[in-house]
Amino acid sequence: MKLDLIICGVGGQGNLLASVAVANYAMKKGLNVIGTETIGAAQRGGSVVSHLRISDEPIYSSTVPAGAADILLGFEPVEALRHMERLNPGGMYIINIEPVPTVLCNMGMDSYPPLDQIIEQLNRVTNHGVTINASDKARELGGIIMTNIVLLGLLNHVSDFFDKDAFLEVLQEIVPSKAWEVNKKAFEAGYQMAV
């Protein structure tokens, strides 16, 4: 088997933790895992993308080739659009629909594309996709910081690769213990949001 994931968003959205959680889970299943991420400007509102490659065969490159991603997990709509060329026509996308506007969009010098146009673009690759407002759900449950956890919950529901209980065990190991209960709640909420 192989599972290539792209997790993309904006610095500070917690996509690295999401990527580490999925990697740890895959390793626990005895699979080979290689990942990579762009960091550096990540803390200052730049684009951040993590590549995660999982396989029972040897993996050589840490980057997911164009057209190969089985899952595109977009923490932000425009970032999903930016990386759509990675998506495999047989794959699926998951998008958190809350936009993080760019500086130029804020200035009124660039326009943020409407959500339906972004979805339309992704649907050119595959119709298999889910959109939710994970940021709102996270806020409602105690903080936008848990957006990544809500999305992991959803990811667990929509992909056969995951076993929820086993994944939660892995997640518990990397989430600070005092925040575990609220994070578990966020995960469950995301899990239930799957259409």
- The DSSP code sequence of 98-122 is -----HHHHHTSS-PPPHHHHHHHH
Nearest to 145 by CA among 179, 189, 111: 179
Cα separations (Å) of 39 from 11, 12, 32, 58, 164? 8, 11, 23, 26, 29
Return the residue of 21, 95, 124, 190 that touches other proteins, per CB under 8 A.
124
> Does position 34 bind other proteins by CB under 8 A?
yes
85 binds other proteins, rule: CB under 8 A: yes
Interface residue with other proteins, options 109, 116, 176, 178 (CB under 8 A): 109
- Taking CB under 8 A as the binding criterion, the range among 35-43, 148-156, 164-172, 178-186 that sits at the site for other proteins is 35-43
d(CA 63, CA 116): 29
Q: Which of 21, 22, 92, 125 binds other proteins (CB under 8 A)?
A: 125
Find tokens 């998008």 and name the residue. Answer: 95
91 binds other proteins, rule: CB under 8 A: no
Binding site for other proteins (CB under 8 A): 10, 19-20, 23-24, 27, 32-41, 43-47, 57, 60-63, 65-67, 78-79, 81-82, 84-87, 89, 101-113, 117, 121, 124-125, 144
